[in-house]
Amino acid sequence: MAVIRDVMPAFELVQPTSVADAQKVLQDYRADAWIMAGGLDSFDWLKDRIKRPKVLVDLSGIAELRGIRTTAEGIEIGAMTTLTEVVNHPVIRDKFSLLTEGAEAAASPQIRNQGTIGGNVTQDARCWYYRSGWPCYRAGGNMCYADTPTARNREHAILHADRCVAVNPSDSAPALIALDAKFVMRTNKGERIVDAEDYFIGPDIDITRLHILKPGDLLTTIRIPYTWAGARFYFEKVRDRNVWDFPLLNVASAMQLSGNIIERVRIAVNGAAARPLRLKAVEDQVRGKPATASTGEMAGQLAVRGAIPLQFNAYKIPLMRNLVKRAIGGVEEAKWVS
Amino acid sequence: MGILKPITQWAANPWGQNVPIHIAWFLIWVAATAGLAFLIVHAVYLRYFARAEKFEGEVPQMLAAALPRRIPRHSLAARMFHWIMAAAMFTLLFTAFLPRVGIQFDWVTYHWIAGTVLTASVIFHVIHASLWLDFWAIWPDKDDVGDAKRRVRRFIGLPAPPPRRFAKYPLENKLYHGAIIVTGLSAIGTGVFMMSRVRTVFFPRNPYLFSDMTWGLMYVLHGLAGVGLIALVMIHVYFAVRPEKRDITKSMIFGSMRREFYLEHYDPERWHPELSRPESSRTDR
C-alpha cells in the first residue's frame, strides 16, 4: 500500500500565464508533463509519490481559462472556472440548473472553491488498487486487482468493463452530457471540439486514461448550447455519505415535454463504467411516451441491460435501474409519506 | 532474470515482489527495424551482388514431356489453412501493436477472437499434416545440410559443386517454418492462458491461475513472440512479393505452379507431386 509521505518528488514547476505558453510546455514535455488545474487530484498522486512527472504545469495563472461567458449560442465555461463559480452563476442556475446540481454535488464546499470544472471532468479514477500504486492495467501493468474473487470492488463498474473495472468519478460529467455540451481542446493540430460524451473513453479504447486528452493536449473550454435551456432536469447522486464523497452512481437527464409526453430527452449516468454513459437506447425508447413511473420502469430495465456485477457491487444494478426510473418518471411515488 | 531486465518492464506487486509485467515496448521498433533491415540488405544483395542461381545436373527433358503444364503443389485444405492463419496473424499483430504506437481502438475482443481462430487453424494444421500429408517434408534432412554446406562454400568463394535442386521446400523455407513454430506456439500457448485474464466466452476469469512472477514471464514470452512475429511476417511478405518467388506465391493461391518453374528449381527425385490427384499432394504444407 502507498504511504502518504507529504513530500512530493522533485519536479520542475512551470506556471504559464497564457494557453499558448502552457501548450508550448506541454508539447515540449508531452508524457513527462503533468497538468494541474485545482490540484485536488494532482496532489494525491504527487504526495503519494506514485506519479513522478518531470514538469508540473500549473494552469492557475492563466486568466483566459477562467470565467463564464454568455454568447449568442449558449454559455462558455473556462476549464479553470471553479465549481463554486459554476454553481453560483446566475445564467447557469436559471437555464442549466442540471449543471448547478451536478457541480454542487461534487465533494465539499472547500473543495469546490478550489476544484475546477475542467479538473472535475478530467480527474482520474478513484479505484484504490490503482491509487495505491499497484501495477494494474490502468497503471500500465497486466492485472486488475479489483476484479478478482476476493477484491473489494463495491464502487466499481457494472457496465463496459474491459480488464479494468474502475469507474469515472465525475459528478458534472453526466450533467454536461445531458446538456449536450461541447468540449474545446487545444491539440498539436489546433483546436478540437468534441461532444461531451466523446471526451470520455473506456478501457477498451485506452486502459490508461479516462478521457481523450493525449500528452500535449489541453482542455480549454466547455460550451453549453441553449438547446436544452430551461428543460425539465433531473440530477441525483447516490453516495455513502451526503457530503464530500464520490458517487456510487449518479444520473442526469434533460427532457423537453409536450404536456406529459417526452418529446426530446438526453440522459446519462456515471459511476457505472469507466466513462459516463449516455443512455441512447433509453432515450430512443422513452421518446414519445408519457413521463410516468411506468415509462421510467421500462427505461430503468433497459438501462441496466448487459450489466455484469462483480463480487460486491451487484447492488448497483437495481440502484441504476431506479435512478433512471426516477430521472424519467419523477420521484413522486418514492416520497416519504409518514 | 538479468538477461531479461533491459528488454522487459518490471513493477512491484502488492506483496513487494519485483515481477516482470511485459516486454519493453521499444522492442516493437527493434523488430520492425530488424525486419526492414533484412529486406533492404537482401534486396540490395540480390540486385547488385548475387550470382545467377545454379543447380547440379541438367533438367531431365524426358520428364518434362511427361509432366502436365501445371504441377500441383498445395491442396485446397492447405491453402485455406494458410490464408486463414495469415488473416488471423495480421489481425493479431495489428490489434496487439497499433494501440502501442498510438492508434487506439477496442482491440482486446478482436485480438482474442483472432487468437482463437489461429489456435483452431494450427490444431487443424497439425492434425492434417500429421495424418494426411508428408509430415517430414517441412523438416530439414541431411540432404538439406549437405546442400547448405555447398551453398555456403560457394558464397564465400571456396570450391564446391552446385547444390542439388530443392525438395518441395528449400532449407530456408524449412527454417522459417521452424521459427514460426517456435514463435507461433509460444504466442498461442501463452495467449490461451492469458485469455483467462479477460472476459471471453470460453472460461471464467481467473487471475489467480499462476503466481505474479509466472504471469509476468508469460506476458514477456507472449510479447517476445509477438515482436518476433513482426519481423518474421515482414520477411515472409517480402519473399512472397519478390518476382522470382512469384510462382511459389501463386501456387499458394491457385494450388499449382508452372512446369518450367518446377523443373528449374525442384528435384523430381526429392519432390514428385502426385499427378493423379491434381487437387492434393501428400507433401503439402
Encode chain B in three state secondary structure: CHHHHHHEEEEECCCCCEEEEEECCHHHHHHHHHHHHHHHHHHHHHHHHCCCCCCCCCCCHHHHHHCCCEEECCCHHHHHHHHHHHHHHHHHHHHHHCHHHCCCCCHHHHHHHHHHHHHHHHHHHHHHHHHCCCHHHHCCCHHHHHHHHHHHHHHCCCCCCCCCCECCCCHHHHHHHHHHHHHHHHHHHHHHHHHHHCCCCCCCCCCCCCCHHHHHHHHHHHHHHHHHHHHHHHHHHHHHHCHHHHHHHHHHHHCEEEHHHHHHHECCCCCCCCCCCCCCCCCCC
Give the pLDDT band (50/70/90) at residue B275. low
Nearest residue, CB atoms, B21 vs list A141, A201, A308 = A141
Q: Which of residues 52-71 of A touch B (CB under 8 A)?
A: none
Residue of B nearest to A163 (CA): B198
Alpha-carbon gap: B219 to the closest alpha carbon of chain A (Å): 8
Q: In whole angstroms, how large is the CA radius of gyration of chain A?
A: 20
How distant is the Cα of A49 from the closest Cα of chain B, in angstroms? 14
Work out whether strand A55-58 and strand A33-36 pair parallel, antiparallel, or are unpaired.
parallel
Contact A135 B199 (CB under 8 A): no
- For residues A132 and A145, the answer to whether their CB atoms sit within 8 Å is no
Nearest CB among A132, A142, A206 relative to B215 is that of A142
Please name which of A307, A321, A267 lies closest in space to residue A156, comparing C-alpha atoms.
A307
Q: Determine whether the interchain pair A141/B108 forms a contact, defined as Cβ–Cβ distance below 8 Å.
A: no
How far apart, in whole angstroms, are the C-alpha atoms of residue A251 and residue A236? 5
Residue A242's pLDDT band, with cuts at 50, 70 and 90, is: confident
Which cell goes with A325? Answer: 426510473
What Cα–Cα distance (Å) separates residue B80 from each residue in A2, A29, A250? 54, 49, 52
Checking if the pLDDT of B278 tops 50, the result is no
Which chain B residues are within 8 Å of A149, Cβ to Cβ?
A: 208
- For residue A16 the three cell numbers come to 504559464
| Per-residue model confidence (pLDDT) at position B64 | 80
Return all residues near B15 (Cβ < 8 A) that are at least 6 apart: B212
The C-alpha atoms of residue A72 and residue A158 are separated, in whole angstroms, by: 40
Chain A positions in Cβ-Cβ contact with residue B198 (cut-off 8 Å): 162-163
Measured between alpha carbons, how far apart are the two ends of chain A, in Å?
47
- Asked if the model's pLDDT at residue A53 lies above 50, the reply is yes
Of A135, A147, A204, the CB nearest to B108: A204
What distance lies between CA A273 and its chain's CA centroid? 11
Residue B78 contacts residue B133 (beta carbons within 8 Å): yes
**Residue B106: which of A149, A205, A308 has the nearest Cβ?**
A205
By the 10 Å C-beta count (0-12 exposed, 13-18 middle, 19+ buried), B239 is classed as middle
pTM (predicted TM-score)? 0.87
Best of B23, B111, B190, B198 to disrupt the A interface (most A CBs within 10 Å) is B198
Distances (CA, A) of A216 to A30, A36, A185, B55: 5, 13, 11, 60
Residue B4: partners with Cβ closer than 8 Å, 6 or more residues away: B20, B220
How far from B46 is each of A9, B53, B169, B248, B260, CA to CA, in Å? 56, 11, 20, 18, 22
Q: A254 φ, ψ to 5°?
A: -130, 125
Cα–Cα distance measured from residue B92 to residue B232, given in angstroms and rounded to the nearest whole number:
14
A147-151, B129-133, B141-145, B214-218: segment of lowest average pLDDT: A147-151
Per-residue pLDDT tens for A281-314?
999 999 999 999 999 999 999 999 999 999 999 9
- 3-state SS string over A264-330? EEEEEEECCCCCCEECHHHHHHHCCCECCHHHHHHHHHHHCCCCCCCCCCCCHHHHHHHHHHHHHHC
- Structure confidence at residue B281 (pLDDT): 52
* Cα separation, A181 vs A174, whole angstroms: 10
- CA-based diameter of chain B, in Å? 75
Q: What's the pLDDT at A2?
A: 54
| Chain A residue nearest residue B109, CA to CA | A204
B141, B170 Cβ separation under 8 angstroms: no
Q: What is the mean pLDDT of chain B?
A: 92
Tens digit of each residue's pLDDT (9 = 90 or more) over A154-167: 999 999 999 999 99
CA dist B268 to A95, B60, B71, B260, Å? 87, 9, 11, 12
pLDDT score, position A3: 58
CB–CB contact B12 A135 (8 Å): yes
For residue A97, pLDDT over 80 is answered with yes
CB-based contact B251:B74 (threshold 8 Å): yes
Q: Are B168 and B283 in contact (CB under 8 A)?
A: yes
A82 with A172: CB under 8 angstroms?
no
- A75, A96 contact by CB (below 8 A): yes
Is the per-residue pLDDT at A4 higher than 90?
Answer: no
SS (H, E, C) A1-18: CCCCCCCCCCCEEECCCC
Q: What percent of chain A has pLDDT over 70?
A: 96
Measured over the CA atoms of residue B273, residue B279, residue B282 and residue B285, the dihedral's sign is positive
Q: For an interface test with A, which of B9, B13, B15, B21 has the most A Cβ atoms less than 10 Å from its Cβ? A: B21
Average pLDDT of chain A is 95
Q: Is A228 on the interface with B (CB under 8 A)?
A: no
Predicted local distance difference test score (pLDDT) of residue B279: 47
Least confident of A86-100, A246-260, B270-284: B270-284
Q: Does B24 contact chain A (CB < 8 Å)? A: no
Q: Is A165 on the interface with B (CB under 8 A)?
A: no
Distance of alpha carbon B195 from alpha carbon B193, whole angstroms: 5
